Amino acid sequence: MLTAYPACFYKEKEGGYSVIFPDLNHLATCGNTLEKALNMAIDCLAGYIYTSEKDGTALPAPSDIKSIDVNSEYDDYEEAFANLVTVDVEEYAKVHFEKSIRKNLTIPKWLNDVAVHENINFSQVLQNALMEQLDLSSR
């Protein structure tokens, strides 16, 4: 399902673009070019919505693009405009947030033999250990 939120795009005086989502606690990102700023805005929006949904945090309804005042967010820019940023969060997450990657590791043979004998899922053990080590176990 496609999700859309208005964003303010600012061409900076010193170059590059800044992007602010007024409806999402003034969530911001940037890029060296307009294309990169738009790609970063999509990634930023997807990440914010994905994390909010995982945390059970309610999202505000998107404002009407016509009600967005680019001057109320930021005032030190060369040019500015408001635009809708859209993303299919579920599809984006499959590719960017939930995609599993392969990691090779080395463990002593005796430990491998015992774990295999006990039908241990090495990937799950590593994921659990990393989550605990990084204090991410609540996610």
Q: Which of 53, 69, 71, 63 is nearest to 24 (CA)?
A: 63
pTM over cut 0.75 = no
Residue spans per domain, the chain: 2-96, 101-139
Percent of the chain with pLDDT over 70: 98
pLDDT in the model for residue 9? 97
pLDDT in the model for residue 76? 85
pLDDT band at 136 (very low <50, low <70, confident <90, very high): confident
Instruction: Classify 106 as helix, strand or coil.
Output: coil
pLDDT band at 8 (very low <50, low <70, confident <90, very high): very high
56-72 pLDDT per residue, tens? 999 999 999 999 999 98
CB 21 within 8 A of CB 6: yes
Tell me which DSSP letter residue 76 carries. -
**Which residues 6+ apart lie within 8 Å of 63 measured at CB?**
6, 22, 23
Tell me which DSSP letter residue 40 carries. H
Sign of dihedral through CA atoms 130, 132, 133, 136? positive
User: Which residue has tokens 């967010």?
Assistant: 73
Q: What value does the mean pLDDT take over residues 2-7?
A: 96
pLDDT in the model for residue 94? 86
pLDDT in the model for residue 137? 58
CATH number of 2-96: 3.30.160.250
